[in-house]
Amino acid sequence: MIWLIIPIIVLVLLTIGAAIFAVVTKNLLYAVVSTGVISLGLSLFFFILQAPDVALTEAAIGVALTTIIFIITIRNTTQYEGDHKENKIEKGAKS
């Protein structure tokens, strides 16, 4: 019965780690992908909490659609946070 706690601990570390990575990383694409990972973690949490409806919603909307909309926004704006050197090159190349 006790070994049941191991997957939960792994899940907790995965979710919080992805959240911290999403905030810290400079590359927005990585940040957006880790937002998807957080939603995945949440979906598994909901599964453990005996809430299948919410797990399905979180998987369908949180992981798939939110990540896609973020990525489309990145395509329309810059891919790197702050005035990163790639930003300059990209802006230079563009204008």
Partner 1 sequence: MIKKVLVILLLAVIGFYLVDLLAQIPFGEKRDNVGDYYLQESVQSLKVANAVTGIVVNFRGFDTLGEVTVLFLAAMGLSSIMYRKKKKGDKDVRAKKPSSRILQVGVQIIFPMVVILGAYVFIHGHLTPGGGFQGGAIIATASLLMLITYRKFKVNHNTISWIESIAGVVFATLGIIGLIKGMSFLENFLPTGELNALLSGGIIAIIYVSVGFKVAAELTGVIDTVLLNNKPDSNNENN
Partner 2 sequence: MNQLLTISFYGTSVALILIGLYAVLAKKNLLKIVIGLSIIDGGLHLLFVSIGYISKGTAPIFSPEVVGTNAVMVDPVPQALVLTAIVIGFAVTAVALSLVIRLYRHHNTVSIDEIKNLKW
Contact of 32 with 74, CB cutoff 8 Å:
yes
Q: Which residues pair with 80 in a beta bridge?
A: 27
Among 75, 82, 83, 92, binds partner 1 (CB under 8 A): 75
Residue type, 3: W
- The structure tokens listed for 93 are 């190349």
How many helices (H) and strands (E) the chain has is answered by 5, 0
Q: Which of 27, 30, 54, 90 binds partner 2 (CB under 8 A)?
A: 54
The one among 13, 20, 48, 72 contacting partner 1 by CB under 8 A: 72
Draw the binding track, 18-57, toward partner 1 (x: CB under 8 A; -: no contact).
---------------------------------xxx-xxx
- Report yes or no: 33 and 3 within 8 Å, Cβ to Cβ: no
CA–CA separation, 85 and 19 (whole Å): 25
Q: Which residues bind to partner 2, rule: CB under 8 A?
A: 1-2, 5, 8-9, 12, 15-16, 19-20, 22-23, 28, 31-32, 35, 38-39, 42, 45-46, 49-54, 57-58, 61-62, 65-66, 69-70, 72-74, 76-78, 81-82, 91
